[in-house]
Structure formats: C-alpha cells, structure tokens
Amino acid sequence: MSKDYDVCVVGSGAGAGPIISELSKQGKSVLVLEKGPWLTEEDFTKDEMACCRRSTYTPKLEDEQHVLEEETMNGGWESEPTSESGWDFWNGNVVGGSSNFMSGYFYRIKPEDFRLLSEFGPIKGANVVDWPISYDDMEPYFTKVETAVGISGKIIPHKHQEPRSTKDFPYPPTSEHPIVERIDKACDELNITSLPTPRAILSRPANGRNSCEYSGYCGSYGCHSGAKGSARAALLDDAVATGNCEIRANSKVYKLKSDNKGQVVEALYYDMDDKPQSVSAKTFVVACHAIETSRLLLSSTGPKHPNGLGNNYSQLGKNLVFSAGGSGTGEFHYSEMDKLAASAMKTRGPFVNRGVQDWYFFDDKDFGGKTKGGVIDFLLRHPNPISKAMSTKWNDEDKLNWGKNLKRDLKTVFTESQDLRFEVFNDWLPTDNCFVNLDNSVKDKWGSAVAKVRLGYHEHDLKVGEFLSAKAENILKQMGAKNIRSSVSGSPPANLVAGGCRFGNDINTSVLDADCKVHDVDNLYVTDGSFMPTGGSVPYTWTIYANSFRVADILKSRV
C-alpha cells in the first residue's frame, strides 16, 4: 500500500528541524505537523504584551494545560491543573517551536556527560546511567550545528574545554556590553577563567539571514532579523524551498495509529478547523517537546502497544529531567560611578556573553571527592519594563504598593542601578519521582487526556546548585555589586526539560535504542530532548540539534 509521505514529523522545533531539513534536501517527501501557527520575522516585534504578558505563542491554559504534581510536607503528592495554578508549562507552540524564543546560550555537553555513571559512580535515589553513544559519536554533529544553525563565539582554552574537530566558531562573538570588562577583571583577580558564551545568534549575515540588530530584547522574544538560530529561521525555510517539505501549521496530532505488527501506520490530527484528519507515512518522527512527546506516545495505544507506543516495558515518560540550579542578582548603582561609567553601564543592546566553567567538575570533601558540577552564566536583568514594574507591586509588609510609594519604588528600580544576574546550570538527576503520565480526568479542548507531570527532585541537585551559586556570588562581590542575593530551589524551569523517552541499549531500562528509534517499533523515532538520559550541566538546545542531525544521517539510509 502506498504511503502519503516518506516521513511524517510531529513538531517543528530544534529536535525536528535537522530531520526535516536533511531528509527533504536528500529528496525524501517530508510532512511536518505543527500544532501552532506559522509566524515569521515580520510578525515578531518587541512587544512585551505579546511575548510575555499574554498567551500569544502558547495555548490558553483553559484550552490546553498540564497537571503538575508536587511533593507535600508529609511526603505525599498533590496535583493541581495549571489552569487553576496559573503555572504555565508551555514554551513556544509555533512553527520552529520554542527555539524561536530562546536566548541561545549554546554549550556542548562534555565527554564525561556521556558516561556520568562510570565517571562519578551511582548516587542513591538517582537513576544515573551512561549514554549508549560517546562524545566522539556526537562531535561531528556539534560541529555541524555551528555552521548549519549558526553559532557565534570564541574558543579560549580552559581546563574543562571539550575536544573540538575545528579550531574555532564559524562566526565571531556578538557585540559585548561594557559590563563584561568588570566581569573579566573580577574573575582575573579571583583566578577564575571567564569565558565568552557561545550564542546561536549570527554576528554577521549568512545563508540569507541578517545579522543581529542588537535591540536588547532577545530571550522570550521572536527574532525580527533572523539572526537567532531558531529551527524555523535556520532550517525550515530552506527545507520548504526544496519543494519536498510540506509544513502543516495549526495541526495538532493526538494519536499515532499502529497496526497488528506494532508498526505506526498513520498520524491522526485535528486541522485548523478542529476537524479530525489522518496521514500515512513510511517513517514517523516525534519531536514535539519532552512532556508532549511522552504524552502523545502514552495516548497512542494499539494492538501491540496496549499501554502506549513503546511502553511495553513501562519506561515511557520516566526519568524526566529539567535543568537544576538557580539564579542570583547584584546591583551596580549609578550614583557610585562617574558619568561616563554610568552611561556605559546603561547601554542597551549588546550581550553580556560571559560564563564560568571552572567548576564543571570539582573535587570537594563535602561532596565525597570528585563531583559533577556545572556552569555559571552572566546576563543583565531582562529589560522587560512591565515585568520589572511588577516587582514593585507588593511592599515589604505584603500589602499592595500604590500612590507616592509605588512611584518612588518604580523610579528606583528603573533609574538607579544596572542589575547583573547569574544563572547556574547543573544536573537534575533522573529519579523515580520525576515523570510524565496521563491525567484522564483533565482533558484538552479536543477531549484528549492531558499530561500529568510529577516534579520530584534529588537533594543532591540543590547541594551542587548552592555550591555554584556561592561561587557566582563571590564574583559579583569582587565586582563591587550591592544587594547580592540568590535563590536555588527544586522548582523546575519549564523551558529546560528533557528525558521521558531516554535512549539506551537495554529495552528494560530505556524507551529508545542508540539510534533514537523506539525499541520495539521499526518505523518510529524520537528526536527532541526526550532521548536524553541525563541533561549535562548546560542548556540542552545544542545537544538536541546535534542529535537530530545524527539521527537524520541514520534515517537517510533507512527511509
């Protein structure tokens, strides 16, 4: 029986883009089903209401939501639908996915991250495993992302520098904010290596895309210039130009139908008018966000998969991970600078682009010796004015702030200091208390069960996060910052999520094989962050892109 397409891809973000691009360039017919609308550079403006105050790029929670389970004081679990709590767990449901709205801090994970169990040994209560592939298997694809997606940066040798097959990045670093000099000086004085942070942002025009326009509003915003390396700007437009790729926006896949042999035969979806549709393909690739991928497979029961596609060994949805760590702030008061320095400090546009990896691994007796640490990144407080103003809405006595006091506080927050923030990224250890399931009592607007996510974390994550936070606070202190504070907690960042379909060689402990094919389905692959058994101590996007290029190479000879 003939199929409608060679490949049907569910989702269009960082995990889907390389598959779509590589296979359509090879001449395969590729259909992309994306739940969200197809917005372009023309649609993206610096509008805080659109980006951050209303559900513009994500569903309204009344229509589509999650149910989140958190641990109670007495060790039980309490669940609450996000339409009630307001805790929005969506990232970016548009063509190109949340890569449209990322800040683009791009880090490779390191060789040791592929073998965390062998390198650092087991941790009680954590399901740490080695990956079924090595850094060497992934290196060519990390390199490929640097040119295909576009990464700007500069290599400075340091003790935890991962091996590279090329000397440096294809694009020089983006312009830097004057505060960088202060960070470098303080790190120098403390004998810490301050490193330029690679960014998935073009510092010069390339491949039909413009260079960064340095508007100063990057993270959370769609990119107007096309410089940000979203899957849409970097990969999908070219894929469509081959004539082999069709992107159906506003198409929500709700089930993958499998036959008596256990193979996927059709994707069932609702079109833009909410009418049910179906499409057949030889091969199916799912990459629609870690939580939603697990949800779709759990919902896709069939004759050989009574508990969901690829769930015959009860691994589906398990070992979900986030990025652990926290963040902090220090203030630099203009009143303590001369006019020139204050004016430089107020600069809006260029990036901070500084991070520290000195403690990616460290040896400390409080941790029992050799330990996996993480990364510290510096950034300016987000310039979003409404969000900044909202920080003055309540006073210290938990009363609403209004009138003269409010106006005084607003003036202070906006005009008296530049705030430098840091973010700490460390491993969120996979545990039995962090996973995706279905909640059959809460449905989305189409009547499908929503994902229920248990959000347990490991105490070790906080310990490492606090260790790194203290180091970052020291740097702020050395810089002369005032009012330094930080926060490390087990509250997960919804925009940094992976796992749920981890890959491995053993069908009893993983969902995917080393090629990211579902173990007991011949024609189903998962290529978003779901495949990751552990996350590394960095944002995931570069690894997700690289792995998708790796799987694309495998698929080229199989489809």
Partner 1 sequence: MTTKLINRRQFIQLIAVASTSWPAINLAKTNSSNQTLGRQADLVYKDLSDPWLSIAEVQEHLFPADDVSPGAKDISALRFLRNMLEAPDSDTEEKEFIIKGVGWLNDLSIKNNKRKFIKLNTDEKEKVLRQIEGSRAGSRWLSLMMTYLLEALLSDPVYGGNKDQKGWQWLEHIPGFPTPTTDQVYFKLGQHANGTTRRRTKS
Q: Which residues contribute to the site for partner 1 (CB under 8 A)?
A: 37-40, 43, 45-50, 53-56, 60, 80, 83-86, 94, 213, 215-217, 221, 224, 240, 243, 245-250, 272, 348, 383, 385-386, 389-391, 393-394, 398-404, 406-407, 410-411, 414-415
| Shorter beta-carbon distance to partner 1: residue 190 or 389 | 389
How far is residue 90 from each of residues 8, 14, 76, 101, measured CA to CA in Å?
Answer: 23, 15, 26, 12
How far is the C-alpha of 94 from the C-alpha of 112, rounded, in Å? 34
| Shorter beta-carbon distance to partner 1: residue 156 or 241 | 241
Q: Least Å distance between CB 67 and partner 1?
A: 13
How far is the C-alpha of 179 from the C-alpha of 347, rounded, in Å? 9
| Shorter beta-carbon distance to partner 1: residue 85 or 478 | 85
| Shorter beta-carbon distance to partner 1: residue 156 or 390 | 390
Q: Least Å distance between CB 109 and partner 1?
A: 32
Q: Least Å distance between CB 401 and partner 1?
A: 8
| Shorter beta-carbon distance to partner 1: residue 65 or 527 | 65
How far is the C-alpha of 125 from the C-alpha of 373, rounded, in Å? 18
Q: Least Å distance between CB 31 and partner 1?
A: 9
Q: Least Å distance between CB 99 and partner 1?
A: 17
Q: Least Å distance between CB 86 and partner 1?
A: 6
Kindly state the helix (H) or strand (E) to which residue 68 belongs, with its residue range: strand 67-71
Q: Least Å distance between CB 80 and partner 1?
A: 7
Count the neighbouring beta carbons within 10 Å of the beta carbon of residue 162.
16
- Which single residue is written with the structure tokens 């193979």? 263
| Shorter beta-carbon distance to partner 1: residue 240 or 464 | 240
Burial 269-280 (b: 16+ CB within 10 A, else e): bbeeeeeeeebb
- Which single residue is written with the structure tokens 């979806």? 269
Q: Least Å distance between CB 213 and partner 1?
A: 7
- Which single residue is written with the structure tokens 């000195």? 358
| Shorter beta-carbon distance to partner 1: residue 283 or 392 | 392
| Shorter beta-carbon distance to partner 1: residue 267 or 544 | 267
Helices of type H across 333-402: 339-345, 385-390
| Shorter beta-carbon distance to partner 1: residue 133 or 342 | 342
How far is the C-alpha of 149 from the C-alpha of 18, rounded, in Å? 9
Q: Least Å distance between CB 260 and partner 1?
A: 31
How far is the C-alpha of 185 from the C-alpha of 195, rounded, in Å? 12
Coil/strand/helix, residue 117: helix
| Shorter beta-carbon distance to partner 1: residue 124 or 404 | 404
| Shorter beta-carbon distance to partner 1: residue 158 or 414 | 414
Parallel, antiparallel, or unpaired for β 434-443 and 449-455?
Answer: antiparallel
| Shorter beta-carbon distance to partner 1: residue 60 or 558 | 60
Contact 361, 162 (CB under 8 A): no
Q: Which amino acid is located at 413 in the chain? A: V
Kindly state the helix (H) or strand (E) to which residue 526 belongs, with its residue range: strand 524-526
Question: Which residues, in sequence order, are CB contacts of 321 under 8 Å at separation 6+?
Answer: 427, 428, 429, 430, 434, 497, 498, 499, 532, 534, 535
Q: Least Å distance between CB 38 and partner 1?
A: 5
Q: Least Å distance between CB 102 and partner 1?
A: 17
How far is the C-alpha of 304 from the C-alpha of 116, rounded, in Å? 34
Query: Could you tell me the two tokens for 112?
Result: 């040791």
Q: Least Å distance between CB 221 and partner 1?
A: 8
Ramachandran assignment for 471, one of left (phi > 0), alpha (psi -120 to 50 degrees), beta (any other)? alpha
* Alpha carbon of residue 411 to chain centroid: 34
What does the DSSP assignment read for 273-330?
TS-EEEEEEEEEEE-S-HHHHHHHHHH--BTTBTTSTT-TTS-TTEEEEEEEEEEEEE
Question: Which residues, in sequence order, are CB contacts of 504 under 8 Å at separation 6+?
Answer: 129, 131, 132, 510, 512, 513, 514, 533
Q: Least Å distance between CB 459 and partner 1?
A: 25
Q: Least Å distance between CB 10 and partner 1?
A: 16
| Shorter beta-carbon distance to partner 1: residue 14 or 31 | 31
Which residues, listed in sequence order, are joined to residue 400 by a DSSP beta bridge? 394
The three-point CA angle 407-408-410 to 5° equals 65
